[in-house]
Amino acid sequence: MLAYVVRRILVFIPTLLVISIATFLLSKLAPGDLVESRFENNYTENLYLQEAKRMGLDKPTFYFSLTTQGYPDTLHKVVLPDHRGLLNFLCGKYGNWDGVNQYYQNLRSFDKKIKRLVKAKTLNSSWLALSDAAFLEREKIIYQRKIAERLTTDTIAQQLLQADFDVLLTSHQMMEGAATPSNHFIPNFIWHGFNNQYHHWISKFSRGDFGVSDRKGNAVTTVVKEAVFWTLVINFFAILLAFGIAIPLGVKAAVEENSRFDRVVTFILYGLYSLPAFWIGTLLLVFFTNHEYGMNWFPSIGFGQPAEFHRSFWSLFKDRAAHLILPILCVTYPALAFIFRQMRGSMVDQLKQNYIQTARAKGLDESAVVWKHAFRNALFPIITMMGSILPALVAGSLTIEVVFNIPGMGWLMVESIRQANFPVVYAIMMLGAVMTMVGILVADLLYAKVDPRVRF
């Protein structure tokens, strides 16, 4: 058994690594700028550089990169998005890093000088518009033409900037003259080592550090921990109810196959299964939490008053329980039909086996035949389903949590996507993957526990 567990874990490790790499690459492709979101777009260039360095954005993305000779191996050190975009464009067009870098350095010096002169009020503030476009204009001729036109009409600017502008033009001409686009036909494999963004990210994740969630600097771990609690509460009781109701019904329906009880229960459960949970949840809120319909039996959305408003634990417990009854019912009823069908089908198959006929021929009590012999062997489909319970416990029920405004994992996922809070989104994705792997392992171990014939 121990050897089997070790083998399965060794299989899970590369699977989780592939999932983690895919998740990490998705985070790199996500829209928006994580550094800008921390400052709410109110920052200086130095503040941006400091925060980007603190977040490790100045490191290579992965252990290696496969590019061409036209690109340098240090482009990751340029963290300003506009600057990096410009360098990528120029390297792709000219294929000559030395010439591109020289032009870039002269452009930065020219841009900084404009900003210093505007700050000192030597130049008009309208020059900042041209300065801001310096790294956005992919066609540099347009930018240079605009600068040249302004210099001809602004005598002070011409005296202060003409020499620097001539240097910039010269470096641009040299970059064009030394263009070697043929370098892009030569592949270049670059090994960056372990000091890269992915390595630091996965190392922190393995220690339970999921990063920072928003501009306030809240840890993702703290945010997820609060949401997991409510999801666990709802899904734990929903799973207990679903299995506790559906399994006995499935066994009884199998024993009384094709009876009126079997047909009625199947019809009712499949009827419930066909009703969307979010629609039923909305109806429950309308009819059972509203004075207008005379059935104000349950409180409305949310999970009640904050803890500090309650005088005792029991007061807090009753408030929370009253708010969670309807969400738990909405999560429970769609699962009844599926579990019932699996249990019934498996039991019907087992009750037709020869060993059941032998047990009955020996005079065993019918309840012993059903529950001690047939039921145990009919549990395999249920055990397979249990492998999906762990990820379900963590992932939450997205629609129900949103409808009832329960701040669980599903609700948190929706809000994080809406707010472009991608560190939380990818943390939830990774947690779901980990719990899926663990669930599969637990299901495999339960097979051996239920059926002694299973050997690993």
Q: Any idea what DSSP says for residue 191?
A: E
Q: Model confidence at 5, in pLDDT bands (50, 70, 90)?
A: confident
Digit-coded pLDDT (tens) for 27-84? 888 777 778 777 766 777 888 888 888 888 899 999 999 999 999 999 999 998 888 8
Amino acid at 86: L
What percent of the chain shows pLDDT beyond 90?
Answer: 17
CATH 1.10.3720.10 residue ranges of the chain are 220-450
- Output the pLDDT for position 70: 92
User: Which among 205, 221, 250 has a CA at the least distance from the CA of 385?
Assistant: 250
Q: pLDDT digits over 154-209, tens only?
A: 888 888 999 998 998 899 889 999 999 999 999 999 999 999 999 998 998 888 88
CATH entry, 220-450, from 3.30.70.1070, 3.40.50.1820, 1.10.3720.10, 3.30.540.10: 1.10.3720.10
Concatenate the DSSP letters of all residues of 33-54 into one string. Answer: -HHHHHHTT---HHHHHHHHHH
pLDDT reported for residue 379: 81
Under the banding of pLDDT at 50, 70 and 90, the label for residue 1 is low
Q: Which of 56-70, 141-155, 307-321 has the lowest mean pLDDT?
A: 307-321
pLDDT value of position 139: 55
pLDDT of residue 394: 61
Interatomic CA distance for residues 414 and 425, integer angstroms: 9
* DSSP per-residue letters across 432-454: HHHHHHHHHHHHHHHHHHH-TT-
Tokens representing 123 are 């130049």
3-state secondary structure of 320: helix
In this prediction, residue 450 carries a pLDDT of 64
* Local structure of 187: helix, strand or coil: strand
Q: Alpha-carbon distance 249 to 341, whole Å?
A: 10
Cβ burial of 311 (10 Å; 0-12, 13-18, 19+) is: exposed
265/278 Cα distance (integer angstroms): 23
pTM, rounded to two decimals: 0.75
Sign of CA dihedral 394, 400, 403, 406: negative
